[in-house]
Amino acid sequence: MSLQQEIIAKLGVKPQIDVQEEIRKRVDFLKKSVVDAHLSGLLIAISGGIDSAVAAGLCKTATDELTKETGREYITLGVFQPYGTQKDISDSYAVAEAFQLTHKVETNIEQSVDEIALEVEYGFKNLGIPRHVSKEGKGNIMARTRMVVQYALAFDLRLLVVGTDHASEAITGFFTKYGDGAVDVTPLSTLNKRQVRQLASELGVPQSVLDKAPTAGLWEGQTDEGELGITYEDNSDYLEGKEIDPAAREKLERQYLRTEHKRVPIPGV
């Protein structure tokens, strides 16, 4: 078995999908997850990007169906988490409007993130290595702070926290382990980025979101493809078992092997 075949099998990506079938499967998964956990719904952080938009659409469908089927109210809570001023936050609200989310809240993480970064810099100083937190380090703090807020909301409101992780992120390890990766359920996990876009079109994700360059929003001008040096076109082709440019293949496989620690549970002895 080639490394490509091994990765595809491990991540569970299909070479092609039936969009309606995939939507139904993922909605049913979310409904079962809520019922089995004896909770009241789902929480999804809506960044304004395509992944969280698709997850939001699936969540709202699931909780609407549960409410109708049981006569008990189940909710989808949409959470917007800007760091200071978020230029594209209107896209987050457009997603909430498109899926008629009646429960939504905005929690600005700037002050919390800056305070944590400052404490870290005090730590550096006490170690005799005075320096600022790196750009990447602060991005890591942002990802983890967002999850702290989501879980604080979810705990008291009795909700499951929904992640937007998918196979095109998993193959590159492009997430913060137990930061943005620490969630209760991941309804997109076996889809690549192209397939997420297919679900987005079917669900009615706003065009402004569909047209955006994918970004984790960790600093000004940051994009996934720019940071990784790998296009989502090549990434998705690879996960569908297709041949891609050898240089892109080598880079993708090297990134996969280098980030294996992010995809495994915490090891112990």
**Would you tell me the crossing angle of helices 135-157 and 110-126 to the nearest 10 degrees?**
130
224 has catalytic annotation: no
* Token pair belonging to 262: 């992010």
d(CA 33, CA 51): 20
169 has catalytic annotation: yes
d(CA 269, CA 267): 7
Which one is catalytic: 22, 91, 165, 169?
169
Angle at 59 between CA 227 and CA 112, to 5 degrees: 50
Q: What residues contact residue 240 under an 8 Å CB cut-off, 6+ apart?
A: 8, 13, 14, 15, 16, 192, 194
d(CA 7, CA 249): 12
Residue with tokens 């952080």, as numbered in its chain? 45
Nearest CA to 55 among 139, 146, 177, 161?
Answer: 161
d(CA 166, CA 188): 5
Q: What residues contact residue 107 under an 8 Å CB cut-off, 6+ apart?
A: 79, 80, 81, 149, 153
Catalytic residue positions?
Answer: 51, 169
